[in-house]
Amino acid sequence: MGVALVRIVLVLAALGISGVIAFMVATRIREMAVRIALGATRTRVVGLMLYDVVKLVVPGVIFGLLVSVALIHMSSSLALGVVEPLAYLVAVAIAVFVALLAGLPSARRAASVEPMVAMRSE
C-alpha cells in the first residue's frame, strides 16, 4: 500500500510540475525566440528552462524537509535512527529528479522554437 501511494504522489507531482513548466514556456516563447536568434544554443535554452524548474522545486523541497523534521521530532513514538539523514537525501534527490524529468518535454519544446515564427505570432 505504501509504495503505491508514493507512486501516485510522484505522478501527481510530476503532472503539476509539467503543467506549470508548460505554462511558463508558453508565456516565454518570445524570450526564447530572441535568445535563439541572438545565438543561444538549444542546449543552453534547455539548461535555462531546467534551471528554472530547479528554482521552482527547491523552496518546496526545503519546506517539506523542515515540516518532516519537525513532525518526526515532535513524535516521541518514532525511534530516530542513523538511516534518517540518508532517507532525507534520497527523498530530495527523487523529488528533484522527478521535477527535472517532468520539465524536460517543455524545456525541449522551448528550445525548438523558430525565432521568426515566434516573433511574427505576436
| pTM score, whole prediction | 0.77
Give the domain range for residue 78. Answer: 2-120
62: pLDDT confidence band, cut at 50, 70 and 90? very high
> Could you give the number of structural domains in the chain?
1
pLDDT digits (tens, 9 = 90+) for 63-122: 988 888 787 777 655 555 555 778 888 888 988 998 898 888 888 888 888 877 766 765
Is 100:55 a contact under the CB 8 Å cutoff?
A: no
Residue range 59-65: mean pLDDT, rounded = 90
> Which string of b and e fits 18-52 if b means at least 16 CB within 10 Å?
bebbbebbeebbeebbebbeeeeeeeebbebbbeb
